[in-house]
Structure 1
Amino acid sequence: MAVFNYPQGLHNVAVVDAAGYNACDTAGAKILTSGHDQVTLAKGANYFICGVGAHCRANMKMTVNAS
C-alpha cells in the first residue's frame, strides 16, 4: 500500500499508466484529492503524478515497483 499525505487543495495524486507518467497527462486517470490517500499497489510498476499545474513537469511524480 502507498500512502500519500499532502496539503489538500495544493496537490493531488493521479494514478496513471506509463504513458501518462511520461507525458504528465492525467486524461483517464483516477484523481485522489483528500490529502490523506491510500492506494493498494498492483504487482509491477505503479505510476503516480501530481496533476496540479506544472507540478508533474517539475518532477512531482513517482514510480513504485511492487512485488
Structure 2
Amino acid sequence: HRSGLTGDETQDRLLVLIAQRQVGNRPGRLEPRAIKRRPKPYPLLTKPRAIAREDIRTYGHPAKLK
C-alpha cells in the first residue's frame, strides 16, 4: 500500500532513522593505518597496451625504479 509520501520524503525519513542509530563502544577496536595492496615489481599500465608496446619497441623498457 502507498503511504502518501513522495520519494524525497521517504528518503528523508530513512536518513533520519539511519542517523539516529548509534554504534556501541567497542574497546580495543583499531583500524590499521597501512595500505592493503602490496607493491608490485612493475609500474601500472597507464596508457593503452598497444601504445605501451610501441613505446617499448621504439625506446626499450624503462629503467627500473627504486
Query: Which bin holds the TM-score, normalised by the shorter protein?
Result: under 0.3
State the structure with more CA Rg: 2
Alignment TM-score, normalising by the size of structure 1:
0.20
Alignment TM-score, normalising by the size of structure 2:
0.21
Structure with the largest fraction of strand = 1
Structure with the largest fraction of helix = 2
Asked which structure has the greater RCO (Cα within 8 Å, sep 6+), the reply is: 1
